[in-house]
Amino acid sequence: GVMESLGLGPDVLLQENPRLIYARLTGFGQTGKYAKSAGHDINYLALSGVLSKLGRKNENPYAPVNLLADFAGGGVMCALGIVITLFERARSGRGQVIDASMVEGVAYLSSFLWKSQKVGLWNEPRGENLLDSGAPFYEVYRTSDGKFMAVGAIEPKFYNQLIKGLGLNLDELPAQMSLFGWPEMKKKFASIFAQKTQAEWCSIFDNTDACVTPVLSFDDAASHQHNKERSSFIKNDQGEISPRPAPVLSRTPAVPSRKRDPFIGEHTEEILLEYGFTKQEIAKLYSDKAIELKKLKANL
């Protein structure tokens, strides 16, 4: 209701410009019991049902920072909605309002979880299924130097290479998909991974299809050979590292800025001046705390 209170709600603006696409990104959506309630990523994730699936056996559900609801279910889904609406407008000539709820966005993002319940992927309690740390061949293991290796050897041909790299004999182990054998297999795998450093395991599993990769820190990810070859990370003029825009387009790839991120309010005045505001009007907006201004001090 903030925009309505300013007289800038969608009903008003769409009358002024029927082609306008008006995106409303909120946690709980524009209608419903919680529509006007405060919340954060963990709350939206909880209400979507997805949080109940995240976490290890005998532990509380675990929210993976704020990536799922805020950014994936919220930002990405809202951006997708804008793209879809632009496409539709090209045919109809009319705009519309996008009601992007983070609860619904992350629920829709998790459609795979909902649709695959009856095929045996999620029949067990949390933390005991194929992809949620229940399986020994889809898990993270600590190495002797305190680092970690990620294992995702689901298909038999990949699993066979995992077993070979670990120095085990497939004929002497329980069947891969025997759930009853998983707890002991996890202990066995953990004890073996703990005997070598991350670098030693990389030398064993690199260039194989065992689906075993190192768990990299941000610094290590930016310097990893594969990522360096693809220029997956960029450095700005302050030496700060961040991911390159993705996905990569063949004909019109993004050209990322190498400049530092702007400070809050750094360009407010110049942009408002470009749009015809006077300095007196800008000063009034600042005194009313409607905008922020930040003028950089000269480096002498």
Residue at which a domain ends, from 181, 197, 215: 215
Mean pLDDT of the chain, nearest integer: 94
Based on the residue annotation, tell me whether 220 is a catalytic residue of this protein.
no
Q: Is residue 63 part of a domain?
A: yes
243 and 270 together in one domain: no
173 and 254 together in one domain: no
Residue in 11, 70, 220, 261 annotated catalytic: 70
28 and 89 together in one domain: yes
Q: Is residue 132 part of a domain?
A: no
165-189 tens-digit pLDDT: 999 999 999 999 999 999 999 999 9
105 and 146 together in one domain: no
Based on the residue annotation, tell me whether 145 is a catalytic residue of this protein.
no
For position 298, what pLDDT does the model report?
Answer: 45
Q: Give the whole-angstrom CA distance, residue 176 versus residue 161.
A: 13
Q: Is residue 130 part of a domain?
A: no
Q: What percent of the chain has pLDDT over 90?
A: 89
Predicted structure pTM score: 0.87
Q: Is residue 128 part of a domain?
A: no
Give the domain extent around 251: 225-261
Residue in 40, 206, 226, 261 annotated catalytic: 40
52 and 114 together in one domain: yes
8 and 113 together in one domain: yes
Q: Is residue 182 part of a domain?
A: yes
Q: Is residue 7 part of a domain?
A: yes
Q: Domain count of the chain?
A: 4
> CATH number for the domain including 92?
3.40.50.10540
Question: Which region among 70-79, 131-140, 261-270 has the lowest average model confidence (pLDDT)?
Answer: 261-270
Mean pLDDT of 75-99: 98
31 and 103 together in one domain: yes
Q: Is residue 220 part of a domain?
A: no
